[in-house]
Amino acid sequence: MLTKKGLKKNPELVKKIDFSVFPGHQGGPHMNKIAGIAVALKEASSKKFSKYAHQIVKNAVTIANELKKYGFKLVGNGTENHMIWIDLRNKNIDGWQAHVTLEKAYIFGNKQTIPSDPRSPFYPSGFRLGTPAITTRGMKEKDMVTIAKFINEGLEIAHKLGNPDIGHKNKEKDQKARKAFKVLLNKNPEITKLKSRVVKFARRFPVP
């Protein structure tokens, strides 16, 4: 934002800023991006999208509440948006183990650092989930109860298979521990059964 004082000091500021924006930073009018933004804004202004957005939050709140019933601690003690942020320290596993184990069962999230995390970013203390994709597939609150149960079962398996050398300062020990964890996970009959149940459940909600 230019002031009269600024323009008095340098009358060329307007031209310099305009030139910096275009063709400098902006580069050029990319019609594909403009069209994409237009479509997104039109969709976001619809009642259908508003209803969808509210359902995303309802689903996230339900998963959060269900996970707390299983003894999980959540950053912020819950959620007010699409994201559930789990602090796994009381479960004695890290975010890497959670990520690898749940992914094996086709439950996708991300390892995530937590506030003042005592662990490294590669083996953080948290795990993050979101509800937009499953809401897009038509899942509602009652389905979140099932998903929370799946998550709890998966992380219990991760705890059973946990290796104390995962995240060890000695890189060789760390690599061996990670490899051993994945080998045990691939052979584990419980995770295989869980994956089958997840797939059966997900097939009820085809991707639109």
- The ranges assigned to domains in the chain are 28-202
- Ranges of H-type helices in 113-167: 132-136, 141-161
Q: What is the CATH number of domain 28-202?
A: 3.90.1150.10
H or E element that contains 48:
helix 47-69
Residue 128 pairs with which residues in a beta bridge? 85, 110
Q: What is the CA radius of gyration of the chain?
A: 23
Nearest to 76 by CA among 12, 126, 144, 119: 126
Predicted pLDDT of residue 27: 64
Residue 1, pLDDT > 90, answer no
Token look-up 């059966």 returns 200
Question: Are the C-beta atoms of 124 and 112 separated by less than 8 Å?
Answer: yes
**Mean pLDDT of all residues in 69-78:** 97
CB atoms within 10 A of CB 128: 19
Give tens-digit pLDDT for 31-51. 898 899 999 999 999 999 999
Dihedral of CA atoms 159, 123, 152, 79 in degrees, nearest 10, equals 150
Model confidence pLDDT, tens digit, residues 158-180: 999 988 889 999 999 999 999 99
Percent of the chain topping pLDDT 90: 80
Mean pLDDT across 24-29: 66
Question: pTM higher than 0.85, yes or no?
Answer: no
